[in-house]
A and B are shown apart, each in its own frame.
Chain A
Amino acid sequence: GQSLEQPSEVTAVEGAIVQINCTYQTSGFYGLSWYQQHDGGAPTFLSYNALDGLEETGRFSSFLSRSDSYGYLLLQELQMKDSASYFCSGGGSYIPTFGRGTSLIVHP
């Protein structure tokens, strides 16, 4: 089977840095993706790591270590609008699997 584990909730203050971890057990793993979903909205794609290492996109960075079956999403200079759920996703072939999501709560 395939599974991705991530914390259910993370809290932080505005302006801080927060890391959301994701560990996975998947067969035929192709890479790790991250999505953001605001309450009542649709998931939107944030980043994808096919290779080990860090990918940076503005305030967001994502990291993958295949040897450790582990990745994380790093959010810097947190803003109130970053309060949302974040999902990691991976899998094999055409069958993506999503983690259960991490609810990020940003406090003023």
Chain B
Amino acid sequence: NAGVTQTPKFQVLKTGQSMTLQCAQDMNHNSMYWYRQDPGMGLRLIYYSASEGTTDKGEVPNGYNVSRLNKREFSLRLESAAPSQTSVYFCASSEPARVDTQYFGPGTRLTVL
């Protein structure tokens, strides 16, 4: 089992460019999450998907969109990147109703110039 995988590992964008971060899990988990991590700020929830077909906003959703493509895949899209979106992005998954135990992917390190 690969667990949670994310692509790409690193990305540099110019202001205004768009991109999609990909996430997939092979643990048959219903719930998936996108976080951003900035120095000294811990992990902040951007969007989550409690189950296939549903998505909801987290703490910091502005500037992002998500798609729960199927049970395995949950993508995060930046339509018009801004320097404030420079961060490390983590995808995570959990068993149904077990938000207390999350499994994280390796992260995507994004720089917006």
Contacts and interface: CB of A to CB of B under 8 A. Distances in A.
A, B bound = yes
Interface of A: 8, 30-31, 33, 35, 41-45, 48, 50, 87, 89-91, 93-101
Given A43-B102, A95-B59, A97-B45, 18 more contacts: A30-B99, A31-B100, A33-B101, A43-B104, A45-B101, A45-B102, A45-B103, A48-B100, A48-B101, A50-B100, A87-B42, A94-B56, A95-B48, A95-B58, A96-B33, A98-B44, A100-B41, A100-B42
A19 B33 CA distance: 29
B53 to A, nearest CB: 14
Given A33-B101, A94-B31, A42 B42 contact: no
A42 B91 CA distance: 10
A52 to B, nearest CB: 15
B12 interface: no
Given A95-B45, A95-B58, A42 B50 contact: no
B interface residue count range (under 10 / 10 to 19 / 20 to 34 / 35 or more): 20 to 34
Contacts of A87: 42-43
B111 to A, nearest CB: 15
Contact of A94 (B35, B41, B42, B50): B50
